Structure formats: structure tokens, C-alpha cells
């Protein structure tokens, strides 16, 4: 199976449709699939639902698609640092499903494992539990959370071999791991493609069986979400 495509647009060709559910990896600006998000924006599809830890920042990450009004709903755990997100949410233009961070990761992992739902204590007695089934186990209440089964998963990896085995770089593994598994189709952008067999099997984070299409997105302009500096100390 030929998995490598020349660019993001061709890798997404025939997949994108209006109103689809997309699971997107990344945390803040760390490990986000920049090239694929740009291609989704340029495609013009609308009514999208994104399952992602957050919506990036203004004009970066999913924030670019918020600017173009292509996102109808966000399933997220953190939505700060994005003024356009805030404006659309408060004006009723954007539907938001808040989900605790660990629960969101588990919902993606569960979807990837074919598990339609699971019970968790996280959110019991809060707004997170509203409208959800509550079940008691050993005298403790748990709420039912649904697994996420996405139409498309888009993720960013550091290295891949020609068969799609992936290695993520340090904390950029974040939500990319569970997001990659829960999509009907997984499209990955990587910084480097290496020959088949050159990756140490013990160092592979995600097996290529989960990956259908890949692009090389490098070079990247490494963006910093927050830059904190201190005054130089005098000698």
C-alpha cells in the first residue's frame, strides 16, 4: 500500500466532506498537524466538528479554521488563549462540548479500541455529568462517557518509515497517539521519512497499521505559544 503523498491537499483528496468529525492531535501549538489544517482550510469544507484538546490560538492551528467559520463544534478540554473562539462561543456561533482532558484522551483511545463507552468518576456532580447516565460501582457514582469514532484523524509525527510506523518527539506525542487510532482514516504529517526497517521496533510509538496516508511537512517554523524571559543579570 502506497502511503506517501506529495502534499497535504493530495493526501486529503477524496476524504474531506462537509459536517465531518475530525480528531486532531496536538496540545497548544505542540505537535499540531499544521500542513493538514491549512489544507482543510483551503478545501472550503464547512460544518466541521473537531475533537481536539484545544483550538490553537488566533490564526494558528484550528484557530485558522475558526477565522474562516468552517468549524461548527469543538469537543475540547481547554479553550483559552483564543479570542475568536471566545467571541464565537459567547455569540452562539460555535457549539462547544467541554470534556475533561484525561476523559477526552480516553474517549479517543476507546474509539480506537472499538469501545463505544466507559464509566469514569471524573465530572461526577458537575456540569460535565449533565444529561449523562450515572451508574454506581461499589457505592461510588460514575458517569458514562462515549468513545469518539471520528471520520478522519489528522496527526503530526517526528519520524515515519515507509510503512507508516511512527515516532513522536517527546511531549509532541500528547494527543497525537489516541487521535490517530480513532479515525476511520488517519492522515499523518511527519518531519522525516526513513527507510523501512531502520526504526528500532522498541522505539515505535504507533504501528503503521493505523496510518493510511502520510506527507512530509518539513521544514517547520517552530512556534512558541508563550515566551517568558527575564532581565539579564548584571555581572
The pLDDT tens digits of the residues spanning 45-81 come to 999 999 999 988 888 899 999 999 999 999 999 877 7
Task: Answer for the pair 24, 62: CB distance below 8 angstroms, yes or no.
Answer: yes
Phi, psi angle pair for 194, to nearest 5°:
-115, 160
Give percent above pLDDT 70 in the chain.
99
Q: How far is CA 104 from CA 33, 75, 76, 109, 122, in A?
A: 18, 8, 7, 9, 11
Phi, psi angle pair for 219, to nearest 5°:
-80, 155
Q: How far apart are CA 2 and CA 208, in angstroms?
A: 12
Domain boundaries, the chain: 8-216
- Does residue 232 register a pLDDT over 90? no
> How much is the pTM?
0.92
Cis amide prior to 219 (ω within 30 degrees): yes
Each residue of 186-208: pLDDT tens digit?
A: 999 999 999 999 999 999 999 99
Fold of 8-216: Glutaconate Coenzyme A-transferase (3.40.1080)
Amino acid at each position: 500500500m502506497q502511503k506517501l503523498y506529495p502534499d497535504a491537499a493530495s493526501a486529503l483528496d477524496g476524504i474531506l466532506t462537509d459536517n465531518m468529525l475530525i480528531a486532531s492531535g496536538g496540545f497548544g501549538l505542540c505537535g499540531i498537524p499544521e500542513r493538514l489544517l491549512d489544507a482543510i482550510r483551503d478545501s472550503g469544507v464547512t460544518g466541521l466538528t473537531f475533537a481536539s484538546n484545544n483550538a490553537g490560538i488566533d490564526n494558528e492551528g484550528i484557530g485558522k479554521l475558526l477565522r474562516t467559520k468552517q468549524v461548527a463544534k469543538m469537543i475540547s478540554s481547554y479553550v483559552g488563549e483564543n479570542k475568536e473562539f471566545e467571541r464565537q462561543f459567547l455569540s452562539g456561533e460555535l457549539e462547544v462540548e467541554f470534556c475533561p482532558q484525561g476523559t477526552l484522551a480516553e474517549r479517543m483511545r476507546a474509539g480506537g479500541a472499538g469501545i463505544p463507552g466507559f464509566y469514569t468518576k471524573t465530572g461526577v456532580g458537575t456540569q460535565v455529568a449533565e444529561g449523562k447516565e450515572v451508574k454506581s460501582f461499589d457505592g461510588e457514582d460514575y458517569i458514562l462517557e462515549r468513545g469518539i469514532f471520528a471520520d478522519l484523524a489528522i496527526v503530526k509525527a517526528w519520524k515515519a518509515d515507509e510503512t507508516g510506523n511512527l515516532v513522536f518527539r517527546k511531549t509532541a506525542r500528547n494527543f497525537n497517539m489516541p487521535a490517530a487510532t480513532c479515525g476511520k482514516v488517519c492522515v499523518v504529517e511527519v518531519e522525516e521519512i526513513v527507510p523501512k526497517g531502520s526504526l528500532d521496533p522498541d522505539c515505535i510509538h504507533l504501528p503503521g497499521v493505523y496510518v493510511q496516508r502520510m506527507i512530509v511537512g518539513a521544514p517547520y517554523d517552530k512556534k512558541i505559544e508563550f515566551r517568558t524571559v527575564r532581565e539579564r543579570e548584571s555581572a
